[in-house]
Structure 1
Amino acid sequence: MKHVIVFLLVTFLVSCEYFNVKKTSSEAILNEELKTFNWNDVDVYPSFSNCDSLETKDEKTRCFTEILTKHILKYLENEPIIVTHDVTDTLNLRFQVSETGVISLIDVKIDSLTIQEIPDIEKLIHSSLDSLPKIYPAIKRGQQVKTEFKLPIIIKAD
């Protein structure tokens, strides 16, 4: 009987460690949350008021890029551009939409032949952004955030 009591007493003393509650600091919780946080995706993509009635994120994204592309192309069509050779090129534009909905062109990748034929193409694209309708910024976890995105635009000039 003594052996059983000693055994139970030793087991009880050793197992007390399992009953201790470990406290987790708020910093540890924050660091764990930041590890699982996807920084490259937003909950709501930037949009125009025309896109508000759409349901899914993909539809709203497509709507935003289509309106932006059509606006830039329409602006370029209305400008008097004279070329000596036919131009067919894909312009790779990189935009940023701020937390307040201000769009800015960060980078433009244009073929050298296109620049030779239309030297003011980058300035024209910048000018086209001035007449855009109001842009609503992207939203991540309920907060308006700055976003960057790329947009290819195909231009043809005869």
Structure 2
Amino acid sequence: MKQICIFIVAFTLTSCEYFNAKKTTPEAILKEELQTFNWNDVDVYPSFSVCDSIDSKSEKTACFTEILTNHILDYLQNKSIVVTHDVSDTINLKFQVSETGVLSLLNIETDSLILKEIPNIGDLIYSSLDSLPKVFPAIKRGQQVKTEFELPVVIQAN
């Protein structure tokens, strides 16, 4: 009987630990969530309506960049650009898509040869974006978010 009483007392003293509720504040939960949050990745990348039928994230991104690149190149090919030397180089374009789907060109990184041969290349690229189809913004956790990305475009002129 003595052993049973010791067991009940020991069980009562140790079992209280199981019923203690750990109190956390909303700020602590938010802080923990923000630390695990990946700020550099989105759930759905910006896209065009043509790319909506694609399910894979990587294929949807490739579709978006391909349409954007082809649109810029088609626009440049329809312009009569005269060069004195052959040009074959890559231009890095830095874009931003706002939460509302507005595509903005932030920066154009280009070689001095392209600027020498095609001094208005920046204006031409800006003009090409005017006729771009509607852009749907990126989505992160169900919210439309602003994104930035770089797009290399190969310029070839003979």
TM-score by length of 2: 0.90
Matched, 1:37 2:37: yes
Aligned to 1:68: 68
Secondary structure of 1:135 counterpart: coil
Q: What is the CA-CA distance between 1:15 and the residue it aligns to?
A: 8.1
Measured in 1, the distance between the counterparts of 2:88 and 2:137 equals 32
Aligned to 2:132: 132
Q: What is the CA-CA distance between 1:12 and the residue it aligns to?
A: 6.7
Alignment of 1:9-48 (within 5 A): 19-48=19-48
Aligned length: 158
Q: Runs of 5+ in structure 1 lacking a partner?
A: none
Aligned to 1:59: 59
Q: What is the CA-CA distance between 1:19 and the residue it aligns to?
A: 5.0
Letter in 2 for 1:103: L
Measured in 2, the distance between the counterparts of 1:15 and 1:142 equals 42
Runs (4 or more) in structure 1 with deviation over 4 Å come to 8-19
Aligned to 1:120: 120
TM-score by length of 1: 0.90
Letter in 2 for 1:26: P
Aligned to 2:84: 84
Q: What is the CA-CA distance between 1:80 and the residue it aligns to?
A: 1.2
Q: What is the CA-CA distance between 1:55 and the residue it aligns to?
A: 1.3
Secondary structure of 2:43 counterpart: coil
Aligned to 1:95: 95
Letter in 2 for 1:21: A
Aligned to 2:153: 153
Measured in 2, the distance between the counterparts of 1:133 and 1:11 equals 70
CA RMSD of aligned residues (A): 2.0
Aligned to 1:144: 144
Q: What is the CA-CA distance between 1:14 and the residue it aligns to?
A: 8.9
Secondary structure of 1:64 counterpart: helix
